[in-house]
Amino acid sequence: MFRGFFVKTLGFVGYTIQYGCIAHCAIEYIGEFVSCSGPSMEPTIISHDVVFSERLSHHLYQIQKGDIVIAKSPFDPKMNICKRVIGLEGDKVCTSGPSDIFKTHTYVPRGHVWLEGDNLRNSTDSRSYGPIPFALIRGRVCLKLWPPHSFGVLAESPNDGHIL
């Protein structure tokens, strides 16, 4: 009787480990569901919207200007940020805020990207912390899943004139 219990328990643990490994690989290499919070991506992504962040393109082709990405925060590695790619390495970007009278520009260094929220007046982004290393990007947001009435591919940036 004890042996039967031991075999069933061991089998259960084995299946749990297998499914855990499959889930880990799916999240790490295919994509994950992310609940976004904060006002920085409004009106494209509202706080508590759920999006799908895919990771295949991160491995197959380069992230492009205009893509929305999930990245590790440059301040807190336990926190993720959701921002739009405004500039890639070598690009000239405007570093001024939307209300600044005098506009300043900088070049994005090699191996880095410039990220900004769509809500320029209420976003902590590369204008505050500078360009971030490309390696901090976790995935590209390709689909809004929740709420159901806004399900679909994400809209273009409301700030297209901001990209140089």
The parent domain of residue 52 ranges over 33-162
Give the three-class secondary structure for 64.
coil
2 in a structural domain: no
127 in a structural domain: yes
63 in a structural domain: yes
DSSP state, residue 44: T
Q: Residue 133: its pLDDT value, please?
A: 92
53 is catalytic: no
83 is catalytic: yes
Query: Which residue in 83, 123, 144, 157 is the catalytic one?
Result: 83
This model's pTM is above 0.85: no
Cα separation, 152 vs 117, in Å, equals 20
Above 60 in pLDDT, residue 163?
A: no
- Indicate which CATH number applies to the domain containing 154: 2.10.109.10
Query: Which residue in 8, 35, 37, 40 is the catalytic one?
Result: 40
What one-letter code names the amino acid at 94? C
4 in a structural domain: no
What value does the mean pLDDT take over residues 145-164? 66
Contact 42, 157 (CB under 8 A): no
The count of structural domains within the chain is 1
Cα separation, 133 vs 43, in Å, equals 26
DSSP state, residue 108: P
9 in a structural domain: no
pLDDT in tens, 9-24: 777 777 788 777 766 6
Tokens of 19: 């499914």
16 in a structural domain: no
